[in-house]
Amino acid sequence: MNLTPYEMVGIGAAVAAILMVGSGHLRVNLTMYALQTVLIAVETGLYAYSKHEDHFYFVAAAIFLVKAYGVPRFLSWIIKHIEVRSDPGTVLPTPLVMHLSIILFGLSYLLACQLPAPGGHVLVLAGASAAISLVFTGLLMMLTRRIALSQIIGFLTMENGIYLFALTQTEGMPMMVEMGILLDVLGGVMIAGLLAFKIKKSFEHIDVTQLTRLRD
Amino acid sequence: MKIIVTSVLFVLCIFWLPLVTVGIIRKTKARLQGRIGASVLQPFYDFVKLWKKGETVCETVSWMFRSSVAINASAMLVLSVFVPWLSFKPVVAGDDLFLVLYLFALMRFFTILMALDPGTAFGAFGASREACLSMLVEPSLFISLAALGQSVHTSSLSAIFSFANTGHLAAVPIWFSVGVSLFLGSLVELSRMPIDDPTTHLELTMVHEAMLLENSGRNLLLAEFAHGLRLVVLYGLSVQCFLHVLVCVLPLTSLWLGVLSLGGIFLLGVLTALIESVSVKLQWKKAPEFIAYGLTMSLLAAVASLIEGVQL
């Protein structure tokens, strides 16, 4: 298989996500998330360059500003204010989660091989496996973490994966749709962040394993 | 003619490169701490001093104590001939990657025996930590070298690191992740900073230096030399990986490769000094988390070499 730089950037994003899962420190997680999103913005820019579709440059710039700069900035502000530094994790120790997500990376390659190519196009195999791996990695992060903030980061990683899949497999979505999704993500992160803030205020912790029982 | 020149150069490198690299690490650390520091050649003077000094050996030790240092040093010399850590290393038959990894394990075994033999508490502490660390770091070294071997379909190290058939862009991820994995692994293997602080004076927390506590004089000289040689061999191996990445992007002549492999070792030494100056020693509990990153990079290389079927 010959890899182009375009596909390598996509795989780089998946690798950044895998490295993100391996650390329990929320700040490291946020930095790696920002790196992964920057790579996805670069991927969008490369797509615009190769297909000569200028409006994707705007999408790339918006992703960079909103998801790679704005969202990590906001979340790190929240981390500072609720005074939670690291996530002990549940179910599995964090290094093992990282190794598990590499196995899922291999699995996502096998899955991508099974996918039917959309009519008239050639399936971008590396892009598809990177995208599916991003979704798996985000899912693993949401499943194995204790702190609500890590779940937000895991969710954002899954969102990145779905975006990457749409970008690499189709001709890209219309700009209005991309912008709408970006706005939704921003709104979602804002609400989730403020909710984490409120939960911390009323329960004195944001441990999701202890939020299973209802009370008055 | 060329082979004679490179062989002479290689043998010279075995003897002066460890000392200079250790000197560079010490000098960089001193400058970063705002001191002028000893000269880069200070390890040479230290060796001369140790050579002249007498030796104090504990009364209770057996023959194992002194012979294991000699075994270690000779195993390390054999390794330095087998491992392709410089681009101009002469090719020797039998440099199998499994043999090389087990020779490293053999050295560790004898270092641990040497530390346990005098029966001091500090040595035993260091030995138990070394055993634990080596157990954790071995999979990453194995998997990363095996991933390279898988993609070339051979287990001979000089065939893997021969700069033949490079130029594939697809080989870049494998070489890069193996290089990072080997560097992280060698930080652990050499008990350098994030795992162990080699300059601390608290024997309770040290790993490698605690095991050498009972050595003195020429014994200490041999042990230090073996450790220095292990440092340059491991760093050199990871530099070779990065050089393969470079060769995939732009072709280089063999003269440049030789210069860059020497420069790369010095650069990694400076990088080590930087890491040791800005970071603190990890909690012992956190060490597996650090080592897991090395294993991750090697697993990524393994996945890349397996699923892509890349020919290097």
The DSSP string of chain A is -PPPHHHHHHHHHHHHHHHHHT--BHHHHHHHHHHHHHHHHHHHHHHHHHHT-THHHHHHHHHIIIIIIIHHHHHHHHHHHHT--B---SSS-HHHHHHHHHHHHHHHHHHHHHSPPPTTS---HHHHHHHHHHHHHHHHHHHH--BHHHHHHHHHHHHHHHHHHHHHHSS---HHHHHHHHHHHHHHHHHHHHHHHHHHHHHS--BGGG--S---
Identify the three-state secondary structure at position B92: coil
Q: Does A98 touch chain B (CB under 8 A)?
A: yes
| CB-nearest partner of A22 from B170, B292, B308 | B292
Question: Treating both helix axes as pointing N-terminal to C-terminal, what angle do A5-21 and B287-308 enclose, rounded to 10 degrees?
Answer: 150
Following CA atoms A150, A153, A157, A159 in sequence, which dihedral angle do they give, to the nearest 10 degrees?
120
**Average of per-residue pLDDT values in chain A:** 84
| CB-nearest partner of B299 from A5, A23, A102 | A102
Residues B16-37 have a mean pLDDT of 92
Residues A11-39 have a mean pLDDT of 91
Residue of A102, A125, A129 to mutate, interface with B, max B Cβ within 10 Å: A102
Is A24 within 8 Å of B299 when comparing Cβ atoms?
Answer: no
Distance from CA of A184 to the nearest CA of B (A): 33
* Chain B residue whose CA is closest to A21: B293
Tokens representing A96 are 């093992």
Is A102 within 8 Å of B173 when comparing Cβ atoms?
Answer: no
Least confident span in A93-107, A165-179, B93-107:
A165-179
| CB-nearest partner of A3 from B169, B292, B299 | B169
Distance from CA of B98 to the nearest CA of A (A): 23
Tokens representing B58 are 């504990």
B46-55, B249-258, B302-311: range with highest mean pLDDT: B46-55
Is B309 within 8 Å of A1 when comparing Cβ atoms?
Answer: yes
* Chain B residue whose CA is closest to A96: B292
DSSP symbol at B156: B
| Confidence (pLDDT) at B165 | 60
Domain boundaries, chain A: 5-210
More reliable by pLDDT, B171 or B96: B96
- The band of B310, judged by pLDDT with boundaries at 50, 70 and 90, is very low
Q: Does A106 touch chain B (CB under 8 A)?
A: yes
Q: Does A61 touch chain B (CB under 8 A)?
A: no
Residue of B140, B307, B310, B312 to mutate, interface with A, max A Cβ within 10 Å: B307
Distance from CA of B103 to the nearest CA of A (A): 27
More reliable by pLDDT, A101 or A206: A101
Q: Report d(CA B81, CA B139) in Å as an integer.
A: 23
* Whole-structure pTM value: 0.87
Q: Does A10 touch chain B (CB under 8 A)?
A: no
Is A22 within 8 Å of B306 when comparing Cβ atoms?
Answer: no
Distance from CA of B6 to the nearest CA of A (A): 36
* Chain A residue whose CA is closest to B300: A102
Question: Treating both helix axes as pointing N-terminal to C-terminal, what angle do A94-114 and A5-21 enclose, rounded to 10 degrees?
Answer: 150
* Chain A residue whose CA is closest to B304: A106
DSSP symbol at B90: P
| CB-nearest partner of B170 from A1, A106, A109 | A1
| Confidence (pLDDT) at A2 | 60
Is A95 within 8 Å of B306 when comparing Cβ atoms?
Answer: no
Residue A164 burial (C-beta neighbours within 10 Å; 0-12, 13-18, 19+): buried
Q: Report d(CA B305, CA B312) in Å as an integer.
A: 9
| Confidence (pLDDT) at B232 | 94
pLDDT tens digit sequence for A34-90 = 999 999 999 888 888 888 888 888 888 988 998 899 899 988 988 888 888 887 777
Number of CB atoms found within 10 A of residue A113's CB: 12
Least confident span in A1-10, B85-94, B155-164:
A1-10
Q: Report d(CA B104, CA B127) in Å as an integer.
A: 16
| CB-nearest partner of A3 from B170, B295, B300 | B170
Q: Report d(CA B31, CA B273) in Å as an integer.
A: 10
Residues A106-114 have a mean pLDDT of 87
| Confidence (pLDDT) at A121 | 57
Phi, psi angles (nearest 5°) of residue B304 = -60, -45
Evaluate if residue B202 carries a pLDDT over 70.
no
- The band of B235, judged by pLDDT with boundaries at 50, 70 and 90, is very high
- Chain B residue numbers with beta carbons less than 8 Å from the beta carbon of A11 are 173
pLDDT tens digit sequence for A126-142 = 888 899 999 999 999 98
Tokens representing B235 are 């760093």
